[in-house]
Amino acid sequence: MSKKILIVDDDPVIVRLMQSKLKEQGYDVFTAVDGLDALVKVKKENPDLVVLDIVMPEINGYDVCCELRFNKNFEKIPIVIVTETEKEIDDNIGERVNIEHLSKPVDIKELMEKIEKLLNG
């Protein structure tokens, strides 16, 4: 059974690129356009990993991340945070379990490496 990955980003170009590459690698991919949509889809689909933008309408990526980490059902889901500037990254992000980060524009090879690391140890 293939691993399920949720891509959360309000930029459709980035979503299509990541979705295409992840599907090529055999992942089951679904998407969300903002943080609110992401929380609904996490509860419905229970993904194995979330690729999460920070700056989004409705609910931002930090709030989604906090919501997942403080919910017993979803606290262990690995998260790859994708952001346009390093300033958007919390200084303590490296200390958190199962959270990685990447800067935009996303290097697909680096994204794949982080996903493999989080899903397969």
Compute the CA torsion angle 39, 14, 81, 117 (nearest 10 deg): 110
Tally of structural domains, the chain: 1
Per-residue pLDDT tens over the stretch 47-64:
999 999 988 888 888 899
CB 5 within 8 A of CB 115: yes
The whole domain housing 36 covers 4-120
Neighbours of 102 (CB within 10 A): 18
Q: Mean pLDDT, to the nearest integer, of 20-39?
A: 95
User: Residue 94 has what pLDDT?
Assistant: 46
Mean pLDDT of the chain: 88
Per-residue pLDDT tens over the stretch 63-113:
998 899 899 999 999 999 988 765 545 555 545 557 888 888 889 999 999
- Domain containing residue 13: CATH number: 3.40.50.2300
